[in-house]
Structure 1
């Protein structure tokens, strides 16, 4: 019985997130009301507040979900094109994210430069999610050769992913600087290498 209740809660949370995503992409976050989200999800408005405190709260939850999905896809790309260098694998991840946003500017617009690492540091350290386990191992292995602590590598990796999302938004949505994102890749990748190498 408890599993059925938990499953129904997860389904409602997913319906709210999916409905929010569709409406935010279509209208922009500021032009969507909680009532619209609930109506689209087929869920009573009062139920919304059992899962999210506000529209900004659900927007952050969406960004967390998008960020996690994007990290998973980027990590899959690393595994398809794995190199011996941790730094060059991070470049592969960065390149994938840039290319992803180039083809999905609606999601980029909705995220508003807000790439979110999907877990707190404590949750990351204890997560049983296969992606997080793999990332922990890669970070730990790189810590042994780089002289950085695991925490410092995680911070540097997260800061680079956030920078990429922010620059993609600036270039692709705000058109600043007035450049093609591909022409900026060499400079971006050079910054990433400098930030992650010891």
Structure 2
């Protein structure tokens, strides 16, 4: 038990160090040596948990995205409606607002390229599915959880790509002008 706790602390220290360095120095300028020095662990310890910098970048990216989604889901709670689609748009809006204010995090996500792993047992996934089942509308009626996951994954991936371009480079326009189109796409995808 003590050994497992010690291992978890080292892994957490590595993830936290990588996150802080990626924000401060940028991903390209951060080395494995920088990460291990900041985490106060030996370089060999890094390789017990991660294959290389890209591996820890993916893990940091997934953890950050998961946190953004969880926080957005909680913020959405106060304004929750009977419409799953509108609740999902509120979640997206909260996430986009966060990313606008934290562009460094968006750069980590863009470079990390990993989606959080959601399973049926995951609390976030269970909350989304509970909301869907409790929605009064007919959004995604008759679709299996696997189909719902695929649709939400596509929306998140495509929407995230468009949002990143709009937030980081103002392409094709600033995010405030893109949001209505993104939300229209979400509504259309969930109306089928």
TM-score over 0.5 for the pair: yes
Gaps of 5+ in 1: none
**CA–CA separation in structure 1 for the residues paired with 2:167 and 2:124:** 28
Alignment of 1:1-198 (within 5 A): 3-112=1-110, 116-119=114-117, 124-125=119-120, 127=121, 129-139=122-132, 146-177=141-172, 179-198=173-192
Instruction: Give the stretch that moved more between structures: 47-56 or 156-165.
Output: 156-165
Distance 1:113 1:47, change over 3 A: closer
Aligned residues: 190
Shift of 1:34: 0.5
**CA–CA separation in structure 2 for the residues paired with 1:169 and 1:184:** 11
The 8 Å contact of residues 116 and 162 in structure 1, kept in 2 or not, is answered as no
Gaps of 5+ in 2: none
Report the TM-score, using the length of structure 1 for normalisation.
0.88
Report the TM-score, using the length of structure 2 for normalisation.
0.90
Shift of 1:131: 2.5
Question: SS at 1:102's partner residue?
Answer: helix
The 8 Å contact of residues 153 and 196 in structure 1, kept in 2 or not, is answered as no
